[in-house]
A and B are shown apart, each in its own frame.
Chain A
Amino acid sequence: MSFDDILLNIISRLDGERYKHAAFHLMKGKRSGQTLQDTEYYGLHPFFGMLPSLHAKDFDLAYRRLLASGLITEKEDGTVFLSEAGKMRAAALEPVRLNGWVYRGMEQLFFARLALTVQTVSHLSAGDRTFMPVSADPSVQRVVRNLFATVVRGMNPKEIAVEIRNGLESTGMEDARLSRFLARLSGKGMSGMTWHQLSELSGLSEMDLKVEYVETLHIWLDVISEQQTPLLVALSQGVRAESPLTGSAKKTDELYRAGMGMEEIAERRNLKMSTIEDHFVEIAINDPAFPLRKFAAQEDIEDVRSEAARLGTRKLSVLKKSFPGLSYFQLRLILARLGKEDGSDGHDNPGKPGQPAETGHRI
């Protein structure tokens, strides 16, 4: 799927409720309360953190292309929604196979390790012990060095090649795509291609290539975690996020579980109250046992739920008007638990544009 289509896909889910920045932060995997909340509400898990080093410039270009082609429009308040043509296009899109929520940019680490391993085997089997490593990252170098003392030690180049080849074969991805993917690998007398070079050769834009590459890695990594072949499993060690909470929210969660109140945590951690609130929203999103009733009356919770359903919105500003007596924080918590407690409002198909994805992408 092209970058523009990915963006259209995201906007179709946020339809009319968010500004363009929401999509940008989502793709970059910003760990803010708002982005995490959006991810959850709108089922955007596949896209979260898919391009951590996305430049605002590239994003804006794509956004403007969508505007210019009439697929999306901005309302007066700046929120963005799909036109009829946009809706038709979005409905016809293939399901995305990204799995950003689980990998969060760590797939790059897997690729760096793979590339260094292949490069090393390639040179060693040609009798060359001196080469410039394709990854200058010391942590990547260390992992690969350890692999060569363990897993790789008992394998000959043929076995390594076969494992990689069979692994890719079993993902069922098309050949042309895999050829573009593997063009990034280097070996003896044969360097990988830069994005620019690959773009010239394939006729695809650099952005589209990068999106395809990330998706290819996600697809492959998902398959690897099922197949458990020795080398590929070792290379993908630690690339799946263990806890859905970000580092800082995790700390807050621990203190909360240890019996501290919000103010106390803010003081102890020397953080602003708004940050602690963000953490609580994040915890509420992820913790099935979150004690929502300690933060709002059951009656209010139910009222907000039915109002949100009636208006068909999860927009805070809209709901706040109906419930001036509740704080934004309370509303956010209630929304965070929406559809997760008894009488859940259910979830829809994964990866289908226009509707929240199933939470199967969550950890």
Chain B
Amino acid sequence: MTEWGPLSLHVPEPPVRPGGTPDFHHLSIPQAGAVRRPPVDVPAHEIHDLAYSIIRVLNRRGEAVGPWDPGLDAEALKAGLRALLKTRAYDARMMMAQRQGKTSFYMPCTGEEAVACGFQTALAKGDMNFPTYRQQGLLIAQDWPLVDMMCQVFSNERDRLLGRQLPVLYSVREAGFFSVSGNLTTQFVQAVGWAMASAISGDTRVAAAWVGEGSTAESDFHAALVFASVYRPPVILNVVNNQWAISSFQGIAGGESATFAARAHGYGIPSMRVDGNDYLAVHAAACWAVARARRNLGPTLIEWVTYRAGAHSTSDDPSRYRPREESDAWPLGDPIERLKNHLIVLGAWSEERHTQLRAEIEDEVLAAAREAEAHGTLHDGPKPSTAAVFEGVYAEMPRHLREQRQEMGV
């Protein structure tokens, strides 16, 4: 025994558990417009404070304020609102489809739609996202056909991934959407490699890496940062901090000791924290980071502060580990409500038009679901080919797989 007494282990605990009153006091939120906007060629060490603040544009009254206002016109804002609504309606429809047995599994991004939707509009054709399973907004914001996405979720005859892959792990090369892996964080470092390839080739394209705050614990995250730091490739390193990794609050990923944006400091990579429920702030920060990448100024790490309002997946029941009311108490609000209010303040929108648009989008999503279902669902109707099991393991099917295919009789 020393004079200090026995040691004990620190095990982080979230502020509240089910039955308690939601508490977000640990999250300090600056006023909208309060954070400065440095030039894109700023050295990393001059913006360390941005990793401990939160860039915000929309204030409580729905006005866009401060240096990060991206100055989007009403048409662009309406397109953004449409993308957010469509993403939410798509998720709701697919959650229902899972309950109806049309698919085995689904993962919604409810509450964090603005992150992917606001980011995508900062990219150009040819750029490549390396998304996780919660960035369906990247596809929806570029009007990728919902029917195509649904056919993957239903694993039907039109599933572009031939029934092989778990629902929501899309792959759409044409839309700059890299094949999603089920293994966390593996793709984060691959995005760095893709960006290095662009630089090696003298190209102009940039890459965007995506990871949840929980998954920053994986070694691949740190490998990505060190490679990005060494080679300064054109990559945006996105950390979506939605507060929860299944049942583990962000403290279990190390969020108590430092912010996730601050992870970049040790690597000399510029980083910032951004209000992920503020479509304007998301878009502005994304443009800033993309501009840096495009101008060969290197990587940027952005921590998007948001909240996973829904379940982790259709296999999850969040009321078992966090208060049911926590979502409503989330201090950064709902991204759709906030963008809607902003448009109303601008005089470009109204509650009536909003209700009407929502109804239109719900019809559009329903029509897409009907069309996709006509091509089959997991247990009903046309199916992907059984022979597809053996194809694509190699470029050319080796003898042993041909034999196994024959044995299966297809």
Tell whether A and B belong to one assembly.
no
